[in-house]
Amino acid sequence: MGSMTLVALLMCLCAGALVVRAEDPYLFFTWNVSYGTIAPLGVPQQAILINGQFPGPKINCSSNNNIVVNVFNNLDEPFLLTWHGIQQRKNSWQDGTPGTMCPIPPGTNYTYHFQVKDQIGSYYYFPTSSLHRASGGIGPIRVNSRLLIPVPFDEPADDYSVIMGDWYNKGHKSLKKLLDSGRSLGRPDGIQINGKSSKVGGNNEPLFTMEPGKTYRYRFCNVGMKTSLNVRFQGHKMKLVEMEGSHTVQNVYESLDLHVGQCLSVLVTADQEPKDYYLVASSRFAKTPLTAVAVIRYTNGQGAASSELPKPPPENSVGIAWSMNQFRTFRWNLTASAARPNPQGSYHYGKINITRTIRLANSKTQVEGKLRYAVNGVSHADSETPLKLAEYYGVPQKVFKYDSMADEPAPEGTSNILVAPNVVNQTFRDFVEIILENHEKTIQTWHLDGYSFFAVAMEPGRWTPEKRKNYNLLDALSRHTIHVFPGSWSAIMLTFDNAGMWNMRDEYNLPDYTKLGGIVKDMPMPPPYSV
Ligand SMILES: *[C@@H]1O[C@H](CO)[C@@H](O)[C@H](O)[C@H]1NC(C)=O
Ligand SMILES: *[C@@H]1O[C@H](CO)[C@@H](O)[C@H](O)[C@H]1NC(C)=O
Ligand SMILES: *[C@@H]1O[C@H](CO)[C@@H](O)[C@H](O)[C@H]1NC(C)=O
Ligand SMILES: *[C@@H]1O[C@H](CO)[C@@H](O)[C@H](O)[C@H]1NC(C)=O
Ligand SMILES: *[C@@H]1O[C@H](CO)[C@@H](O)[C@H](O)[C@H]1NC(C)=O
Ligand SMILES: *[C@@H]1O[C@H](CO)[C@@H](O)[C@H](O)[C@H]1NC(C)=O
């Protein structure tokens, strides 16, 4: 599968033990990853379960907790997990992406250690190799504020995690064969909500229950392969309170768009007639929309949910304008206290001078009969040896070259692309502006591991330096994903203050890797970095 990986490399590194303060508690998990039969869309199929479940077990933790997960791989293929949006400061060894780690061989176990440092919010974990995420292995991560750190809303009566996304009945092995034969994944078969997809009017078990008068927090994550979703409740409004680790200005919404790889939380108050209501998730920008529902039941409620579902927002280009406008309403609550995503001080990010502008544009080309995606004319190919390990062992020149890619897109129509590991050398602590331009027909969601960035703008058309006057330089959300609509651009700003080699990628074109550790696989695992 074509990949669009930019590996951002930061210098100023030195090896040493990860400094863990004694007062930060440890949480231990033991996970058994195995195949099992589930029926997310009503058709029994083989899926990847963790401790027999899909979604997998929740990691419920607080800021600065140390997390230790011993993962037993009982699949017949190597398995690799990433902790999506968990910043693991200075510790990209545990990132679980193919440039930085080797997967866990079948029949063995590996223990991930990481710290959820200086962050709060809603996240998830998922497998990054062999298209495993199309078959499961996904679950929620909830990071609570530490005691004594005030949260900008009253404690909800309960806190519900909802893992949702498009779903294929084929399973990852068949999907992988499709891609390997040069075809695309095609249309998903449906949408799953916490591993189920209820039918309107069916005799459905409730997904969650609410007591009349009480307020509940729902944490939604779109964990799908490629489909943007719109989420809404029958008869209830949603108050947005958190998105990817930032407490937001608490606007009220009828429905919210949630793109692949994104999470948010809303508060919903059970203030309607006590009965059943549907939670609805429908696909966006698709010719034939897919819709899934789940039942939300009032305790002591009487009566089934109405079969009249709340309407989705408009589709097609009108829908993109709607969605962009909604994006602009997502603001950071500057007065809410929380773990700051960038404690090193890019809080007044609008006042920092930009030291580098990187414009990234993707393109699609055939190389030797295979479909390849490139960024600025370079199509990332991972090496057998994880790049970070090659660097650590002082043998990068044997494996890759730094800075093959320019900071500007290749001239349009360029068909010559370079297929090579794409590693960008970025000076430590510099403040950088990255413009993401989408010249393709499908929506992209970019994600940068190890960081939060300020999502300052999103517009249709082409970016020019004059567009900077439209940036939100005051209260843009600090987050770790950004979507880019077709024929549009999005701009992000960040301080590269988390040393290490980190992976930047388009979630939809997540590359496929199954290889083991290459030339360094028999060497001992080095200790994590600290700076
Ligand atoms: C893991 O799950 C597999 C399949 O259900 C089972 O055979 C195996 O005994 C389990 N291992 C552990 C350590 O629980
Ligand atoms: C999750 O952690 C919070 C804070 O420690 C606690 O109040 C809550 O009961 C936990 N929830 C679950 C489901 O374990
Ligand atoms: C594998 O699991 C065993 C038993 O829990 C544990 O002692 C060992 O450290 C684990 N190995 C790795 C590489 O994590
Ligand atoms: C922001 O957070 C503060 C502090 O908790 C809270 O009082 C205020 O209502 C929030 N503002 C908005 C607009 O959500
Ligand atoms: C930012 O750049 C402006 C114009 O070049 C300069 O006057 C100012 O001192 C710089 N600010 C900082 C904090 O470096
Ligand atoms: C990375 O950039 C820094 C300057 O920002 C330079 O000193 C260093 O040599 C570069 N490293 C590589 C491997 O290109």
For 456-468, write each residue's pLDDT tens digit.
999 999 999 999 9
Backbone angles phi, psi at 349, to 5 degrees: -65, -25
Query: Which residues 6+ apart lie within 8 Å of 255 measured at CB?
Result: 230, 231, 232, 238, 310, 312, 313
Give the pLDDT of residue 338: 57
Specify which residues 247 forms β-bridges with: 242
Q: pLDDT by residue (tens digit) across 405-455?
A: 778 888 877 777 777 776 666 666 678 898 999 888 888 888 776 668 899
Look at residue 91 and tell me whether its pLDDT is greater than 50: no
Q: 283 forms bridges with which residues in the sheet?
A: 229
Condensed to tens digits (0 to 9), the pLDDT of residues 148-186 reads 788 999 999 999 999 999 999 999 999 988 877 777 788
pLDDT, tens digit (0-9, with 9 covering 90-100), for 291-306: 999 999 999 899 999 9
Closest among 230, 222, 228 to 262, alpha carbons compared: 222
Name the residue at shortest CA distance from atom 11 of ligand 2.
60
267, 163: one domain? yes
CA of 111 to the centre of ligand 3 (A): 7
Domain termination site, one of 271, 299, 328 = 328
Asked if residue 111 and residue 207 are part of one domain, the reply reads no
Select the more confidently predicted residue: 362 or 291. Answer: 291
Q: CA–CA separation, 85 vs 92, rounded Å?
A: 12
CA of 75 to the centre of ligand 1 (A): 10
Residues with CB under 6 A from ligand 1: 32, 34, 72, 74
Question: What per-residue confidence (pLDDT) applies to 427?
Answer: 63
Statement to judge: residues 323 and 183 lie in one domain: yes
Q: Which residues contact 61 (CB under 8 A, 6 or more apart)?
A: 27, 67, 116, 141, 142, 143, 144
Whether residues 140 and 189 share a domain: the answer is: no
Domain hosting 357: range is 344-502
Buried b / exposed e across 133-155, counting CB within 10 Å, b at 16+?
A: bbbbbbbbbbbbbeeeeebbeee
Q: Output phi, psi for 70, to 5 deg.
A: -95, 110
Looking at the structure, tell me whether residues 257 and 388 fall in a common domain.
no
In a domain, 199, yes or no: yes
Total Cβ atoms within 10 A of residue 394: 8
Lowest-confidence region among 319-323, 458-462, 486-490, 499-503: 499-503
Cα–Cα distance, 516 to 499 (Å, whole number): 24
User: Given ligand 1 and candidates 30, 74, 76, 111, which is best to mutate, with the most ligand atoms within 8 Å of its CB?
Assistant: 74
Q: Are strands 246-247 and 453-460 parallel, antiparallel or unpaired?
A: unpaired
Residue 87 lies in a domain: yes
Helix (H), strand (E) at residue 322: helix 316-328
DSSP 8-class letter at 350: G
Q: Which two tokens stand for residue 8?
A: 């951002």
Q: Are residues 311 and 356 in the same domain?
A: no
- Residue 378 confidence (pLDDT) above 50: yes
Q: Which residue has the tokens 């800021």?
A: 63
428 CB within 6 A, ligand 6: no
Based on its alpha-carbon atoms, the radius of gyration of the chain, rounded to whole angstroms, reads 22
101 band by pLDDT with thresholds 50, 70 and 90: low
Q: Could you tell me if 237 and 198 lie in one domain?
A: yes
Which residue's C-alpha comes closest to atom 5 of ligand 1?
A: 34
Residues 382, 290, single domain; the answer is no
Question: Kind and range of the H or E element at 488?
Answer: strand 488-495
What distance in Å separates the CA atoms of residue 283 and residue 158, rounded to the nearest whole number? Answer: 27
Q: Is the pLDDT of residue 516 over 50?
A: no
Residues 135 and 173 reside in one and the same domain: no
pLDDT tens-digit profile of 192-222?
A: 999 999 989 988 899 999 999 999 999 999 9
Give 396's pLDDT tier (boundaries 50, 70, 90).
Answer: low
What is the average pLDDT value for the chain, to the nearest integer?
Answer: 82
Question: 336 CB under 6 A from ligand 4?
Answer: yes
Asked whether residue 284 is assigned to any structural domain, the reply reads yes
* Mean pLDDT value across residues 30-55: 97
Q: What is the pTM of this model?
A: 0.87
Residue 136 sits in a domain whose CATH number is 2.60.40.420
Determine, yes or no, domain membership for 430: yes
241 inside domain: yes
Centre of ligand 1 to C-alpha 109, Å, is 12
- In total, how many domains does the chain have? 3
* 479 & 372 share domain: yes
